[in-house]
Structure 1
Amino acid sequence: MRPFRFSAALPAFTGDLRAWRQKVARIADLGFDTLTAGDDLASGGMDPLVVLAAALHAAPGVRLQTRALTVGLRHPVMAQRALASLDAFSDGRLDIGLGVGFGDTPADHQALGRTADPAPLRCERLADTARTLRTLFTAQPATSHGLGRPGACPPILIAGHSRGVLDVAGRHADIIAITPPHTGGHSGPLGVDAVATRLGWARAAATAAGRDPDQLDYQLPILAIDVTDTSHPAWTAPQFAGLSQPALVLSPAAVSGPAGHCARLLAARRARLGVNHLHFTGGLRAAATVIAHLRALS
């Protein structure tokens, strides 16, 4: 059984670099293995590679991850140059998260003055980007600038919900991240059956590509958490805020109850679904109590 790994989103930057780095250090001290930065051009968010570079010294020893670079916004050769630089300066602590973005909310493409591509083309570009990055990283020398670690490609995470994206993930990713469905600007429920189906797509694609699906890692986001035997407040992600309580209870993307119960629930989900990477974007102090129990169980 693959070991648990835990990631957390980096905090928003509000203008005070020292205070931000202190927040980053506190999050790292909570027990997370990886800190992540998203890629959202339309909302005015910062460049994720610059954000991760700023976090380097605030969180020594913790891995850093783009979650996830929208492949249609970057040429893969130029992306590899920047990623190889970050991998070198982080001493090999980089994970590369890739995605296609949400086709039904093409704000990022509109910000660039162009329309979003149809889903098949976005998936084709995702596969091409993953192949190109791995080829460039594993070439000798690692890059034309002598950056990176010759012959070594950082782990590649591919995040998505559709069969097309998860087929690409099964063929090319080291970490396969299942994300909620996204329609009309809102995320829908992420039920056990839906997750199992999508994991099955990815595993079948891996097998068809000659890869061992049991050697891959699988990730779910935790979008609602309520640890009832701590003073830390319950937290629900904005995109899950409209879901009914029954839907939340049934979703493997939510946990509720005492910390020990939550840990056993997540361990049971790993045994049933194979999900061993958990990603948190909020409720981090509550999550830390569950993580401590999970590490004790391991």
Structure 2
Amino acid sequence: MPFFNIYPGPQPTCISHSSANLMERGNQSKVTDFELLGFSDPPEHQPFLFVLFLMIYTLILLGNLMIFCVVRIDPQLHTPMYFFLSCLALVDIFFTSVTVPKLLINLLSESKKISFEGCITQLYVFVALGNMDSLILAMMAYDRYVAICRPLHYSMIMKKRLRIQMLVGAGVLVSLHSLLHSIMTSRLSFCGANKMHHFFCDVPPLINLACSDTSLNVLLLLTETSIVLLFHFLCIVFSYIRIIFAILKMQSREGRRKAFSTCSSHLVVVALQYGPLLFTYIRPSSAYSPNRDNIITVLHTVVAPMLNPFVYTVRNKEMKGALRRAASRIICSCQK
């Protein structure tokens, strides 16, 4: 039995590691698919949930696609900060597309199954894009640090080459991180229990369903994953500590106000992302509750990507100006 039940819930029937049970499991049929039971109870709520998640998913696609396109076509937004913002918007689109379409299908279908291969693929892409999202937020924090703490060197430091190198390096890192978890999870044995009380394939619920020794997987989740998450988060915290000290030293009140306003949107997005994320992956198992955990997971996988476009446009004068210019061009082209 694993030394730490990271994802408590209905336990698999074959978790003993004795020789007798190992032989008994050899006679059981191997699991070839899983049932994703997240948000399946009560059934009468599923049509409402389908409409709700469909509306949210539509807002995610439209809002993030709008930000990506506006940043790409407006020359005034061709700056490092908006370059990272457009990357964040694009990653958010793919990140939610990994889980929400399957959730929508399950809410309308009696069969909520996903194949073993499809589950591992979903796990790989979800972990990779989720970590990419966090790393881009860390890059945006570093960008704000350079802009406020080293303004005279900003254009020299945040060159396009460095930005591309940061993204490529992040891509390699998240791919290796995700590949490690996917390989370790795919090597587990699943025999009998295939009902997952979650709405997508993630590492903790899969560990809980396994009937083979999961101690190495749990150790990996508690150490490597925690280190990666905390590294992203601490990079952001360190950047903003330096930013706050730099702002407090400013003599101009208007300068302080402008500096705080450029960081406020990013801080809101960080809070929306890391609050639920840290609660989900770094906490004791005794705090588990299936319904509550599904809702908290929705916050950082669905709600945060939906709110990001609104956060970055409501209080951002440059983005609102770019949207007005884009709307004017569209209206003028339609009138011709």
Bin of the TM-score, shorter chain as denominator length: under 0.3
Instruction: Give me the TM-score of the superposition, normalised by structure 1.
Output: 0.26
* Structure exhibiting the larger radius of gyration computed from Cα positions: 2
- Structure with the greater relative contact order (CA < 8 A, sep ≥ 6): 1 or 2? 2
- How high is the TM-score relative to the length of structure 2? 0.24
Q: Which has the higher strand share?
A: 1
Which structure has more helix as a fraction of its residues? Answer: 2
